[in-house]
Amino acid sequence: MKNNKVLITGGAGFIGSNYVEYILQNPEDEIFVLDKLTYAGNLKNLETVSDKITFIKGDICDEGLIDKLFSEHQFQKVVHFAAESHVDNSISGPSEFIQTNIVGTFNLLQASYKTWMTGPNALKDEFGNARFLHISTDEVYGTLGETGLFTEKTSYAPNSPYSASKASSDFIVRSYFHTYGLPVVTTNCSNNYGPYQHKEKLIPTVIRKAISGEPIPIYGDGKNVRDWLYVTDHCSGIYRALQNGRLGETYNIGGKNERNNIYIAEVICDLLDEMLPKNTSYKELITYVKDRPGHDFRYAIDASKIEKELGWKAAENFESGIRKTISWYLENRDRL
């Protein structure tokens, strides 16, 4: 007999599929994965676990489908990854971001509210430990200068249509806690990397371009800084927040691995020189290109709240995680 029915939205995407693999190491719950399979979702990401989950192809913006799934399965937990996530796409076409990230999140909250909180069994019996875990981003805080860290108390100041849509969703989640008492927890993560990441992001782009001998595009002067988090470390943080996070709270999850973009490109090239040698260094392919409009300069996370309250700590540093990541892509070149 399984403990809980857990709905994982966006579970065929990069972080979602890593999380599904992560929690199935301890298969006490019944896992339902809901994913629209946009360009960023891939059933291959779930190949190793396909016999252990129920997969549903569908869109969180489809209110009728969401209501139907909740009334049919009576989920006790929701782990909400489904989102449009690529900043560059939000600049060229923001509409999908507003729909999926805001309206889709609202549909899930509303269905959770109806299932868990209306009727005679409100938050009792099988819904006594109900949880809605909302996965968000550090980009909601805007940009930092050379110093400082984002804490959970940093004011929201999103700069791109993507981060504005995630900030909006965070606020709607917050409102369901304060207004209705919906049992929610939100996590805000820094830049993830690792197996299954979509090829549009910086790290797979550098690996792909290098291997194919094409120019490696670095936006602007390459000095922008991101705080890199190995995806499995993110998954362990999400799991702790789901199990023991305080209701209505937000937890920042970051790897304490601040690196600038040119450093990232150079390290990948150095490792490829070692792992896949050729006559000249891959570094010669690094090419500075036009900057991203409104490009945030630096993100860096203070993760002390989740470390102290929930006993979480990132296990991987960038230099060890990137070696594993490159090995994975070299073995799975079709993913580039």
Catalytic residues: 138-139, 162
118-137: contacts with ligand DAU (CB under 6 A):
137
Distance of alpha carbon 7 from alpha carbon 73, whole angstroms: 9
User: Judged by CB under 6 A, does residue 138 bind ligand DAU?
Assistant: yes
Give the SS3 label for residue 128.
coil
User: Judged by CB under 6 A, does residue 139 bind ligand DAU?
Assistant: yes
Distance of alpha carbon 180 from alpha carbon 163, whole angstroms: 25
Q: What SS3 string covers 133-197? A: EEEEEHHHHCCECCCCCECCCCCCCCCCHHHHHHHHHHHHHHHHHHHHCCCEEEEEECEEECCCC
At 294, the amino acid letter reads G
With CB under 6 A as the contact rule, which of the stretches 56-64, 82-90, 142-150, 242-250 interacts with ligand DAU?
Answer: 82-90
User: Judged by CB under 6 A, does residue 261 bind ligand DAU?
Assistant: yes
Could you tell me the smallest distance in angstroms from the CB atom of residue 270 to ligand DAU?
18
Question: Using the 8-state DSSP alphabet, how is residue 102 labeled?
Answer: I
Nearest residue to ligand DAU, scored by beta-carbon proximity? 137
User: Judged by CB under 6 A, does residue 236 bind ligand DAU?
Assistant: no
Contacts of 147 (CB under 8 A, 6+ apart): none
User: Judged by CB under 6 A, does residue 205 bind ligand DAU?
Assistant: yes
Nearer to ligand DAU, 76 or 236 (CB): 236
CB 127 within 8 A of CB 150: no
User: Judged by CB under 6 A, does residue 190 bind ligand DAU?
Assistant: yes
Q: Is the dihedral of CA 203, 204, 209, 211 positive or negative?
A: positive
With CB under 6 A as the contact rule, which of the stretches 98-106, 216-224, 279-287, 321-329 interacts with ligand DAU?
Answer: 216-224
Nearer to ligand DAU, 115 or 137 (CB): 137
Nearer to ligand DAU, 161 or 183 (CB): 161
12-31: contacts with ligand DAU (CB under 6 A):
none
User: Judged by CB under 6 A, does residue 75 bind ligand DAU?
Assistant: no
**Among residues 156, 219, 263, 328, the one that binds ligand DAU under rule CB under 6 A:** 219
Distance of alpha carbon 165 from alpha carbon 140, whole angstroms: 9
248 C-beta neighbours (distance < 10 Å), count: 16
**Among residues 217, 263, 281, 328, the one that binds ligand DAU under rule CB under 6 A:** 217
User: Judged by CB under 6 A, does residue 87 bind ligand DAU?
Assistant: yes
At 184, the amino acid letter reads V
User: Judged by CB under 6 A, does residue 257 bind ligand DAU?
Assistant: no
**Among residues 127, 299, 312, 318, the one that binds ligand DAU under rule CB under 6 A:** 299
User: Judged by CB under 6 A, does residue 239 bind ligand DAU?
Assistant: no
Residue 252 has φ and ψ, to the nearest 5°, of: -80, 135
User: Judged by CB under 6 A, does residue 229 bind ligand DAU?
Assistant: no
Which stretches of the chain are DSSP H helices? 14-23, 63-73, 87-92, 95-97, 105-117, 161-180, 202-211, 231-244, 261-275, 304-310, 318-331
User: Judged by CB under 6 A, does residue 159 bind ligand DAU?
Assistant: no
Please report, as ranges, the residues that interact with ligand DAU according to CB under 6 A: 85-87, 137-139, 190-191, 201-202, 205, 217-219, 224, 226, 261, 292, 299
